[in-house]
Structure 1
Amino acid sequence: MNMRTSGAAARIGSLTLGTCLLAACLVGATAVAAAETVPLPVPSPKKRVAQATPPARAPLSAPAFTGTPTTGSIVPVAAPAQGRGLDGSQKVLADKVSGYLSGVHALTGNFIQVGPDGGRTEGQFYIQKPGKVRFEYNPPSPIDVVADGNSVVVRDRKLATQDLYPLSQTPLRYLLVDKIDLTKDTNVVSVSADDVFVTIVIEEKQALTGTHKLMMMFGAKDMQLKQWTVTDPQGYDTTVAVYNLDPTAKPDPGLFRINYERVLQ
């Protein structure tokens, strides 16, 4: 397997956070019912028309899931309007989310990823803090995404290639740090809540890669992570919805290994 290094971290941002950006085959009524409660925004047709096709090597452009694993209660969710500052109630919500993220040390579950073209891919994910995550995409997608605490690698099993990115340049890091205070450690531009979800939008500007936005949604009652949407500098949205979450599982450390010795000749 070859490995490439690249400064184009915007592509991984489009993924994941964009990572991340994601669910296993929905077998049985329980799994289907769980997935049906996950809100999946409909990608913007305007963005798809106005922009060129996203880079083919990014996981968001992996072969789309061709079935329809969920029906009924999936609804579009619009990002809340940005604000210059947070009021008292918004800070309280941000602190609650920070507490939840800081309290999660390991997490496994299923994901559904919706790319800018509306295609869906599915799989399983594994998180072990600090800094480690693995997204395994179900066939026909050949993609795995692995972070080992320092780097993120996007593996293409079919082409036997690897693209390497610094973890510090991807939105994944917000989910993978041991402790986080969103109001101090990030640029929170919006916090909103209703009876179902607490939604936080983070904006990040980088000289080389441009401006990314990360919208995270948590359950209003349990504060558990439900989904995130990464908007890349070109305006493409990639949404990852998670379910069947298990914070007690202990992932195998081998899931997060990256082979740095296999370098492209």
Structure 2
Amino acid sequence: MEISERESRNRHSATVAAEGLGAGSAPPAQDITLTNDFNGLTPRPAISTGLRRSLAAGVGLLMVTAAPLALAETVPVPRPSPKAVERQISTAEPSRPQRPPQPPAPVAKLATPPDPVIPDPRRNVPASIFTTFDAKQKADAARVSAYLSSLSTLVGNFVQVGPDGSKLKGDFYIMKPGKVRFEYDEPSPISMVANGQSLVVRDRKLATQDIYPLSQTPLRYLLSDRIDLLRDTSVVAITSDELYISIIIEEKNAVIGTSRLMLMLGVKDGQLKQWTVTDPQGYDTTVAIYNLDTARRPDPAMFKIDFTDYSTPPG
């Protein structure tokens, strides 16, 4: 997931403590103020261009190069669906024995990461969003929408394949709405954290973090409480075979061009298997996920962002 040098010059970078998150994380509202402060900082060494593009593209990080963070669109937090009305049991009804709660079934762990399905670079994607879908395609889109909307938490492992074929592995944690954390395995010093409003790319080795509006990344589709793919997005293709349902979402931006997000779900189990981000230059980055656990609830502290400015070394 690479970010071009032109995009790198337009990021707002701030150094952070190499130890990780601070104990007193400031609220996301400080994002705008810190943006103004960052503009006067002396440039520091950046993550290598190739690594930045691979990491950013893997989570759908598509930064609008000319748009300041202060003007970034706020991520809308979808409203949760209304709770079902509890059924009142009358005294005339016989009481039923209550079954003790059953513990969730343990997640079967894969010893070997799956091989991501790399899309054919010569594939032909419709250029127009005004596409007519048949009944089966609409049913597939509704099935994927219902699945994504049903998730509240998701924990698992991932393997990422960059445009150059390089592979990175790690763990990810999702808590909806809007929160995600990607931890890359050593020797990569990178981690990514989204708190519902902003997403930061941290480099523990350089003690820096780059801040982006979450609303400018396709990750918002995966992190929304409720989503209707045919209504809330620009879907340009829906295909299926005996293994996968694939849905391609297109995003057009006057500044950086057109990008695409392809979601792939298993036909048999209906679970998300991987996604591929195609940047405006046509480079693909694929992230395959496995060992998924929907019962585990991550610690909310994992998604806090420390916006403190550590640009001036102590002493």
Please give the range of the TM-score, normalised by the shorter of the 2 chains: 0.7 to 0.9
**Gaps in structure 2 of 5+ consecutive residues:** 1-13, 17-33, 39-51, 63-107
Q: 206, 211, 217: which one pairs with 2:258?
A: 211
- The letter for the 1-side match of 2:58 is L
Distance 1:13 1:230 in 2: 10
Q: What residue number does 1:238 align with?
A: 285
Match of residue 251, structure 1, among 275, 290, 298: 298
Alignment of 1:15 onto 2:40: no
Structure 2 match to 1:71: none
Q: Which amino acid aligns with 2:294?
A: P
Q: Which residue is 1:54 aligned to? A: none
Q: Give deviations 1:80-118, integer Å, cap 9, x for gaps.
A: 743722111101100000000000000000000000110
Q: Deviations over 1:205-243 (max 9, x none)?
A: 012222110001000011100000000011111100000
Q: Which amino acid aligns with 1:184?
A: R
Correspondence for 1:56 = none
Q: Is the 8 A contact 2:244 2:267 kept in 1?
A: yes
1:192-231 matches, cutoff 5 A: 192-231=239-278
1-structure distance, mates of 2:284, 2:311? 30
Cα-to-partner distance string for 1:130-188 (whole Å, 9 max, x where unaligned) = 00000000011110010000000000011000000000000110100000000000000
Q: Which amino acid aligns with 2:116?
A: P
Q: How many residues align?
A: 218
1:190 corresponds to which of 217, 221, 237: 237
- 1:32 corresponds to: 111
Output the CA distance in 2 between the equivalents of 1:17 and 1:247.
Answer: 22
Deviations 1:187-213 (A, max 9, x none): 000001111100000000012222110
Q: Does residue 152 of structure 2 align to residue 105 of structure 1?
A: yes
Matched with 1:2 is: 15
Task: Confirm or deny: 8 A CA contact 1:214 1:231 kept in the other structure.
Answer: yes
Shift >6 Å, 4+ stretches: none
TM-score, normalisation: structure 2: 0.64
> Following TM superposition, by how much is the alpha carbon of 1:263 offset from its aligned partner in structure 2, in angstroms?
6.1
Kept in 1: contact 2:116–2:287 (CA 8 A)? no
The SS at the match of 2:159 is strand
Structure 1 gap ranges (5+):
20-28, 45-77
Closer, same or farther: CA 155–180 of 1 in aligned 2, 3 Å: same
How do 1:33-182 residues align onto structure 2 when only pairs under 5 Å count?
33=112, 35-36=113-114, 38-41=115-118, 81-82=125-126, 84-182=131-229
Mapped contact 2:153–2:295 kept (Cα < 8 A): yes
State the AA in 2 paired with 1:157. Answer: R
The aligned counterpart of 1:50 is none
3-state SS of 2:156 partner: strand
User: CA, structure 1 residues 30+253, in 2 after alignment: closer, same or farther (shift >3 Å)?
Assistant: closer
Q: Is the 8 A contact 1:13 1:171 kept in 2?
A: no
Corresponding residue SS for 2:200? strand
What is the deviation of 1:15?
A: 2.7
User: How far apart are residue 254 of structure 1 and its match?
Assistant: 1.1
| Inter-partner Cα distance in structure 2 for 1:254 and 1:202 | 31
Maintained 8 Å contact 1:108/1:126: yes
Paired AA for residue 226 in structure 1: K
CA contact (8 A) 1:114 1:121 kept: yes
Select the structure of larger CA radius of gyration.
2
Structure 1 residues 139 and 120, CA gap change in structure 2 (3 angstroms): same
AA aligned opposite 2:233: T
Cα RMSD of the aligned pairs, angstroms, is 2.6
3-state SS of 1:212 partner: strand
